Chain A
Amino acid sequence: EIVMTQSPATLSVSPGERATLSCRASQSVSSNLAWYQQKPGQAPRLLIYGASTRATGIPARFSGSGSGTEFTLTISSLQSEDFAVYYCQQYNNWPLWTFGQGTKVEIK
C-alpha cells in the first residue's frame, strides 16, 4: 500500500498570503496525483489532477507541482473561500487508491 503523508497538519495563513501544502508518497506515483478541497459539511471538490492540471472551473491561484514522491499545492493569494481541508490522493497504483490525512488551512 502506498502511504500518502501530508504536511503540515494545520496551516495558519492570513488572507492574501501564499499557502504551500506538501504531500509525500511512500513510493513513486509518477504524476498520478490529485488534490481535493473539502469545506465543512460538503463533499470534496477536485482541484488538481495529473499533479499539475487544474480541473474545470478551478481558479488560477491554485497550482500543483511535483512528480514521483514529492508534490506541492500552492494557493498564491488566499481568499476567504479557500479556508478548508485539502487532501492529496494517488491513483497510480492499483488495487488501492490512497488519500493523505489532510491539511487544514485556517485563518491566521
Chain B
Amino acid sequence: QITLKESGPTLVKPTQTLTLTCTFSGFSLSTSGVGVGWIRQPPGKALEWLALIYWDDDKRYSPSLKSRLTITKDTSKNQVVLTMTNMDPVDTATYYCAQSIAALDYWGQGTLVTVSS
C-alpha cells in the first residue's frame, strides 16, 4: 500500500522560509523511474505544480518559482523535503506531495499552510 503524508508548519510569517517534509511508504525513491513531486492549491483555486525529484536525483522546478524552491530527498528515511524561501500571503495554499511514475499517481492528504503576520 502506497501512502504519502506531508508535514510542516501550518502558519508562517511573510519573508520566512517554509520547510515541508513528505514521508512516504510502500515504494522506494531509489527505484528507477520513480519520482516525488510537490503541488499546491490556493483555497478555492486550481492546482499548481511546484517541483519534482527523481530516483537519480534529477530535479525539476516550476520556472516561476525556481529561485525560491529547493527539493531534496533522503532515500534511507523515505522522505522528500521542499523548502520555499521568502514566503508571501499569496503562497497560502494546501501543499501536496505525490508519487510520480505514470503521472502523479498517489497523493498525500495535503497540508494547509497560511502565510500571515
Contacts and interface: CB of A to CB of B under 8 A. Distances in A.
Interface residues of B, number: 21
B74 interface: no
B105 A43 contact: no
Kindly name the residue among A87, A96, A101 whose own CB sees the greatest number of chain B CB atoms within 10 A. Answer: A96
Nearest to A42: B109
Say what secondary structure dominates the interface of chain A: loop
A2 B37 CA distance: 19
Contacts of A46: 102-107
B93 to A, nearest CB: 13
17 contacts: A34-B104, A43-B96, A43-B109, A45-B107, A46-B104, A55-B102, A55-B105, A87-B46, A94-B60, A95-B62, A95-B63, A96-B49, A99-B48, A99-B49, A100-B46, A102-B46, A102-B47
Interface of B: 37, 46-49, 52, 60-63, 66, 96, 102-110
